[in-house]
Structure 1
Amino acid sequence: MPDGLNHISTLNSPLAVYQSQLGEKLVEDLSQLQAINTLDTLFWQLTQQNSTTSLPIKGLYLWGDVGRGKTFLMDLFYDCLPQKGKLRLHFHHFMARIHRDLKALVGQQDPLVIVAKNLTKECRILCFDEFFVSDIGDAMILAGLFECLFKQGVVLVATSNIPIERLYENGLARHKFLPCITLLQQHTSLLHLNGKQDHRLHRLRAEQNESEFVATFKFIGMTAEMDFSIIFADLIAATNLVQINASSIEICHREISVKSVTESNCPNSMVWFDFYALCEGPRSQLDYMEIATRYDTVMLSGVPQFAGEVRGWIKARGTEDGIGDNQAQITGERILSYGENDDMARRFISLIDELYDQKVSLYLSSDVPLAELYLEGALKFEFRRTYSRLMEMSQN
């Protein structure tokens, strides 16, 4: 177990850093204050604990609606910790790493135990963002993995849009994932960040008047009448990059069509995709992770409105698009409708999540204003996060 967290010098605590930013960068939010106090307590437990006489420390599972500051608070906590003995990953990156490590151990006995022990050598505190399980393979792995990590004393801090008990809700063979839910409930404290303010949109409105704010809805970029050919050429001229004569690039060993591209993995690298090339076909989160790693700027044109005839109906417990809506929670069951473009919408959500998390510059043109890209359907809640992130990215 790394011991870097057991030796702390004069560091600012999460609460002290948070309070120093109130009024300047932050507006007062009682829900955030409760969360930062909890994280501050955890910070001192981790940094002052004597490893020879230590008792188990409970981690934190922070959940809530979009734009409530979950990632900001977790990152503030993480940055205050000493450098050694910690690891912070987006959940998709975490699972990609676990699958990669398991693949390298094919044929060995108890590979999941080996993966878990290797992780504990690297970190005592594990932070990951956007905890959301939708894949049955991930669901099967996580129960065994968390059991090993918690036995080794790893402390988990995670953010999510849903509470622990709703993870992998309606998933295939969900009963096999229930032990993982029990483990998370035993080893983390659940805290609902339920403030009424979307802090991303609040900050943007504070920086510009309402008419300017509305004018940014249709485009992300420098002007409201974007000619991507001109913008691409201007960016190349400004950065002394060379445009490659290619109609496609290889991502995850598959060809994806591009409209323009520069060399990858170099400063200011750029690529321009048509929406359908990137989101219509069989793409995965791994594709978007590789793109975000290789390119500093992504241009995406022709994003459509995700609407269409309802394709089917399913019953689901709780509510996907009304967290905090007491009436929706009381009803217990409801019917969700899936539109014919929802597969593309899911890929688009995953793409934006990845570009946002890796701080990739985005230029985007759409057929309709961003606020109208997805109005009704099963992904309405998830798309609220995407919209909030797009608005923030438009200003960066």
Structure 2
Amino acid sequence: MTVMVSPSALYYQRVEQGEVATDVHQLEALAALDQLWHRLSAEVDNDADAALGVYLWGSVGRGKTMLMDLFFEALPEGMGRRQHFHHFMRALHRELNTTFGVANPLQGIAARMAREVKVICFDEFFVSDIADAMLLGNLIQALFQEGCYLVATSNIPIFGLFQTQIQKDRFAPAIAVLESRLLSFHFAGDKDHRFRLPVNQPIFFTSEADFDDSVHALFDDQATLQGALTVNHRALPFIKVSESVLWCEFDDLCVSPRSAHDYIHLAQCYQCIIVSNIPELSSTPYEHIKARGTEDGALGSGQTGERQVSLGIHDDAVRRFISLVDECYDQRISMLFLADVALAELYTNGILLFEFQRTFSRISEMQTSGYIKKQQQH
């Protein structure tokens, strides 16, 4: 017989092992996750007014994802699904592209998901595209109607999920549903728990000599020098590649038009990705016309035309760099970087400062023994 262990029991195990330092905001959210876990584990669902999930939000490194992962680990096997939000939306668009002519396809997708799992866990919940916002709002309402529960992490409160002011009112009904049916917990404070672990080995270099020493140790005699891979039908030049390690220039990985799908593919193929010749990425935003849907992930949205956005000269590359680091972090991939400036000086001005805080924190965590341990468990 399988012994059920609650999220709080798993949490305090990690406290005793020195992996987690208790935090009042974490404990408040943990109590709500425990309550939801008990309801799901006992299959008690007779309170129509009870919350349908938990929403954990706050700045990077506050322990939101850690708590959600403990909750997911404690669930009975097969009861839940845990996905990075970007991956979920990618799969949703792909499934919608197979349902042309089907009446109310989102209701059918929600019914299928409800048959498969009882609770869905989203990491990095955020909506930036109105097409995604409308899809997501309708799907979440359908999932709640089907009896599913939701646990999500985000850097922003529910009311700020869709930050684009244009057409924001169209997402308002979904915001209202989320605010009324989820228990929301703000992880306040200025302590980044991911910075408390000791540094294992530097991964971000400004000295080419130190970088070369670290890179040399990663490649065996079978490595291939200078060539190109084919990634999603497009060439990706590389400096060096082996069975498990890929070394590319920043321009080839992030300045050239790559998509998040490319980074997903690379993180699935390699255990370590090296990025060299990263320039200082700060820049002053300017008004820029962009074709609607370009690299927005708006598959199946049917949107056309142009829109005006504010961008710095490096911001498209920064957005791709953020996506690359997010994917490698989520898949527990190792990374090495060679840049013209220190990490703290890499991006200090531009429209993506909010998003880049997460990138800074994740690159910093990749240097810790805790991240190495997560890699071994992945």
The interval holding the TM-score normalised by the smaller chain is 0.7 to 0.9
The CA distance in 2 between the partners of 1:346 and 1:366, in whole Å, is: 17
Q: How does 1:286-301 map to 2 (within 5 A)?
A: 286-301=261-276
- SS of the residue aligned with 1:32? helix
Residue 372 of structure 1: aligned partner? 345
C-alpha deviations, 1:146-171, integer Å up to 9, x for none?
12111001100000000010011125
- Return the match for 2:4 from 2, 11, 15: 11
Distance change in 2, residues 1:308/1:54 (3 Å): closer
The CA distance in 2 between the partners of 1:366 and 1:169, in whole Å, is: 31
1:196 CA displacement: 2.6
Q: Which moved more, 1:106-115 or 1:158-167?
A: 106-115
C-alpha deviations, 1:331-363, integer Å up to 9, x for none?
xxxxx9753212211111111111100101111
C-alpha deviations, 1:314-342, integer Å up to 9, x for none?
xxxxxxxxxxxxxxxxxxxxxx9753212
Amino acid at match of 2:77: Q
1:282 CA displacement: 2.3
- Return the match for 1:219 from 189, 205, 224: 205
Contiguous gaps of at least 5 residues in structure 2: 289-308, 373-378
Distance change in 2, residues 1:259/1:171 (3 Å): farther
- SS of the residue aligned with 1:225? helix
- SS of the residue aligned with 1:359? coil
Given that 1:130 and 1:158 are in contact with CA atoms closer than 8 Å, whether structure 2 keeps it comes out as: yes
- SS of the residue aligned with 1:191? strand
The CA distance in 2 between the partners of 1:110 and 1:245, in whole Å, is: 52
Amino acid at match of 1:272: W
The CA distance in 1 between the partners of 2:317 and 2:80, in whole Å, is: 35
Given that 1:30 and 1:195 are in contact with CA atoms closer than 8 Å, whether structure 2 keeps it comes out as: no
Contiguous gaps of at least 5 residues in structure 1: 1-7, 264-268, 314-335
- SS of the residue aligned with 2:34? helix
Residue 48 of structure 1: aligned partner? 42
Residue 274 of structure 1: aligned partner? 249
Residue 320 of structure 2: aligned partner? 347
Residue 242 of structure 2: aligned partner? 262
Distance change in 2, residues 1:284/1:174 (3 Å): farther
- SS of the residue aligned with 1:127? strand
The CA distance in 2 between the partners of 1:185 and 1:57, in whole Å, is: 10
Cα RMSD, aligned residues only: 2.6
1:311 CA displacement: 1.8
C-alpha deviations, 1:213-267, integer Å up to 9, x for none?
xxx484299x971117x835x4342xx8x4357622222222222222235xxxx
Residue 197 of structure 2: aligned partner? 203
TM-score, normalization: structure 2? 0.84
The CA distance in 1 between the partners of 2:125 and 2:319, in whole Å, is: 16
Given that 1:126 and 1:157 are in contact with CA atoms closer than 8 Å, whether structure 2 keeps it comes out as: yes
Amino acid at match of 2:238: V
Q: How does 1:1-396 map to 2 (within 5 A)?
A: 9-23=2-16, 24-50=18-44, 53=46, 55=48, 57-170=51-164, 172-204=166-198, 216=202, 218-219=204-205, 225-227=210-212, 231=215, 234-237=217-220, 242-244=222-224, 247-263=227-243, 269-312=244-287, 338-395=311-368, 396=372
**Identity rate, percent:** 40
C-alpha deviations, 1:273-329, integer Å up to 9, x for none?
11111111222222211211222211111111112344249xxxxxxxxxxxxxxxx
Given that 2:283 and 2:350 are in contact with CA atoms closer than 8 Å, whether structure 1 keeps it comes out as: no
TM-score, normalization: structure 1? 0.81
Given that 1:59 and 1:156 are in contact with CA atoms closer than 8 Å, whether structure 2 keeps it comes out as: yes
Distance change in 2, residues 1:89/1:171 (3 Å): farther
